């Protein structure tokens, strides 16, 4: 019988967290989707793995037996995938937005020239996964925007900071302002990421910089085109300053905003993983270049 390794990763997260809610947040998936995948794994195996109650998810005897073996199995599979990547000379680097990734393209170009036998694959992820593929083991390293849930389980090096501004509908009364005061936006409907993104969502809503004023969420999106469409339709959204260079919409304007902290961009990779010398070389080059900007 074949079992998708993704299902095993989901099972391991629920087993470790003892909660569907916490496991879903860790994996950046919705709780209903995670519940469906756990049931699928139980159906595939023909055994019940958890006892569900209001207090959480308790492992059954069969679940405990599987939980004792899955970490070693996943580690072995992960190393096999990485070994295949090394043999094929492929490095996978995740990112979320062009503004953050654009800063590393020159470094990657230099690396490709120095190491022509290696291929660097840039993989973009939408905002439903602020870890840019690291949480589910889909990349070797990632350029990320901080903070995001689960970053404490990764090795993260801050690279640079970028001011945040605001996207406004072109017809908005503040659209012609040179600089917008964040306080003047508190009652506006904001575009938000999904609930599962936790601290990342709160950062882009500036929850901690509202003096307790509640957030009005006008739209929930995970892609730049949806994000711009929501703003054109009457919402507002905090955004990194680089958005003005990489994204545009005829009915949306970008303005600097005062009263909010900047966005921090970092380089993240898993902890406790066998170190690949060539990946270390690339990551050190990125850190060296960007921390000296």
Average pLDDT per consecutive 10 residues, the chain (293 residues; last block may be shorter) = 76 89 83 89 89 84 88 77 66 86 80 84 90 88 90 88 95 96 97 90 95 95 91 96 86 96 91 68 75 61
CATH topology for the 89-160+264-290 domain: D-Maltodextrin-Binding Protein; domain 2 (3.40.190)
pLDDT for 235: 97
290 touches 159 (CB < 8 A): yes
pLDDT for 3: 62
164-261 — its CATH code?
3.40.190.10
pLDDT for 107: 82
pLDDT for 278: 73
pTM: 0.72
pLDDT for 24: 85
* Of the candidates 239, 223, 228, the residue with the CA atom closest to the CA atom of residue 185: 239
Count Cβ neighbours within 10 Å for each residue of 78-88 and write b for 16 or more, e otherwise. beeebeebbee
Domain boundaries, the chain: 5-84, 89-160+264-290, 164-261
Judge whether 5-84 and 89-160+264-290 match in fold: no
Could you count the other beta carbons within 10 Å of the beta carbon of residue 144?
27
The verdict on whether omega for the bond into residue 99 sits within 30 degrees of 0, i.e. cis, is no
pLDDT for 86: 62
CATH topology for the 5-84 domain: Arc Repressor Mutant, subunit A (1.10.10)
The Cα 174–Cα 194 span in angstroms is: 27
Strand runs (DSSP E) across 7-72, as ranges?
50-53, 56-59
pLDDT for 88: 58
């Amino acid at each position: 019988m074949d079992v998708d390794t993704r299902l095993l990763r989901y099972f391991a997260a629920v087993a470790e967290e003892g909660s569907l809610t916490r496991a879903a947040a860790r994996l950046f998936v919705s709780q209903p989707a995670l519940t469906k995948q756990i049931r699928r794994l139980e159906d595939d195996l023909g055994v019940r793995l958890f006892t569900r109650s209001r207090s959480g998810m308790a492992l059954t005897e069969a679940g405990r037996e599987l939980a004792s073996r899955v970490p070693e199995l996943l580690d072995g599979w992960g190393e096999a995938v990485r070994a295949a990547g090394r043999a094929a000379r492929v490095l996978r680097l995740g990112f979320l937005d062009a503004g953050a990734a654009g800063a590393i393209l020159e470094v990657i170009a230099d690396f490709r020239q120095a190491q022509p036998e290696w291929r660097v694959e840039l993989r973009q992820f939408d905002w439903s996964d602020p870890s840019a593929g690291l949480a589910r083991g889909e990349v070797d390293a990632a350029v990320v925007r901080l903070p995001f849930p689960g970053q404490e389980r990764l090795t993260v090096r801050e690279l640079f900071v970028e001011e945040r501004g605001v996207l406004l509908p072109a017809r908005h009364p503040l659209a012609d302002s040179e600089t917008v005061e964040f306080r003047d936006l508190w009652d506006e409907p904001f575009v938000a990421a999904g609930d599962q993104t936790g601290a990342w969502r709160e950062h882009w809503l500036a929850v901690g910089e509202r003096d307790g004023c509640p957030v009005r969420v006008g739209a929930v999106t995970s892609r730049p085109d949806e994000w711009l469409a929501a703003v054109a339709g009457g919402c507002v959204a905090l955004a990194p300053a680089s958005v003005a260079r990489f994204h545009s919409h005829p009915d949306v304007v970008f303005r600097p905003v005062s009263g909010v902290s900047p966005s921090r961009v970092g380089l993240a990779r898993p902890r406790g993983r066998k170190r690949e010398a060539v990946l270390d070389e690339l990551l050190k080059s990125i850190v060296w270049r960007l921390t000296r900007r």
